[in-house]
């Protein structure tokens, strides 16, 4: 095969590992399968990585970064908060539902990390990445809709990540994207109640209608 410097070869192997593992599961990502996917002979993998675990760590790092970088900087400005939130939720969901294999692989990596000493930090890095990304999205929403949040953004981020995780998992199992998206819009409605106009005062529409906390979760809203 083509010769190339180790650094480049490593990237190629990580890409191949990602392809195999997303398609067939983390268990299928054997050294041989990755080498074959990259069109490279067996020994190359151990020339580029000391361990199989080092390869897996590199793969985990890559997928975490890839899920994180979606910084959602392209939020239209000047929208009302509820609209900005809905927009962000649609974008997040699109990037999840379009990458089923990767999502499933993420969960596989999480559980593998929690069992294996060598993959120790992988799961924590994944979550820190997700919390940071969610915080960033919240701040982008605040900026786009000119609101701030009535709680620490990082604290809200934890809520967002937990709920998104929960619905993603359910969707992976039952394949019902519509229900998942409806649930996420429910989260959006809740988030809207946590916004505060930038110049201070009270929450946007505090006591008008508590059902606003979950408009899309209302059967009438989507059915």
Residue from 91, 107, 143, 216 touching its own copies (CB under 8 A): that is: 107
Query: Degrees (nearest 5) of the Cα angle 152, 155, 161?
Result: 140
Which of the ranges 8-16, 33-41, 76-84, 178-186 carries the binding residues for its own copies, by CB under 8 A?
178-186
Which of the ranges 35-43, 61-69, 132-140, 149-157 carries the binding residues for DNA, by CB under 7 A?
35-43
Tell whether residue 169 is a contact of its own copies (CB under 8 A).
yes
Tokens encoding 49: 């990585």
Q: How many CA atoms lie within 13 A of 116 on its CB side?
A: 15
Tell whether residue 51 is a contact of DNA (CB under 7 A).
yes
Q: CB-based contacts of 91: which residues, under 8 Å, 6+ apart?
A: 70, 72
How far apart CA 195 and CA 204 sit, in angstroms, is 6
Alpha helices in the chain (DSSP H): 6-24, 31-38, 42-48, 52-69, 81-97, 100-115, 122-145, 153-174, 177-192, 219-222
- Given its own copies, DNA, none, residue 33, with its beta carbon under 5 to 8 Å by kind, binds DNA
Tell whether residue 30 is a contact of DNA (CB under 7 A).
yes
Tell whether residue 124 is a contact of DNA (CB under 7 A).
no
In the complex, the residues that contact its own copies under the rule CB under 8 A are 24-25, 27, 104, 107-108, 110-111, 114-115, 123-124, 126-127, 150-152, 155, 158-159, 161-167, 169-170, 172-174, 179, 183, 186, 190, 193-194, 203, 206-211, 213-214, 217-219
């Amino acid at each position: 095969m083509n010769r190339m410097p180790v650094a480049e070869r490593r990237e190629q192997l990580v890409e191949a590992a990602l392809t195999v593992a997303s398609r067939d599961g983390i268990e299928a990502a054997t050294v041989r399968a990755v080498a074959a996917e990259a069109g490279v002979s067996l020994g190359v993998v151990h020339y580029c990585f000391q361990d199989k675990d080092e390869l897996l760590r590199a793969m985990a790092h890559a997928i975490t970064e890839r899920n994180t970088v979606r910084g959602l900087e392209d939020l239209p400005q000047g929208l009302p908060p509820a609209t900005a939130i809905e927009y962000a939720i649609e974008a997040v969901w699109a990037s999840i539902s379009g990458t089923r294999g990767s999502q499933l692989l993420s969960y596989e990596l999480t559980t593998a990390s929690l069992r294996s000493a060598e993959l120790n930090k992988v799961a924590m890095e994944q979550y820190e990445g997700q919390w940071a990304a969610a915080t960033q999205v919240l701040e982008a929403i605040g900026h786009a809709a000119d609101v701030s949040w009535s709680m620490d953004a990082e604290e809200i981020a934890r809520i967002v990540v937990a709920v998104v995780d929960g619905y993603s998992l359910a969707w992976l199992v039952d394949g019902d994207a519509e229900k998942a998206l409806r649930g996420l819009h429910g989260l959006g409605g809740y988030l809207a109640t946590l916004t505060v106009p930038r110049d201070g005062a009270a929450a946007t529409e505090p006591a008008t209608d508590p059902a606003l906390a979950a408009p899309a979760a209302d059967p009438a809203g989507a059915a």
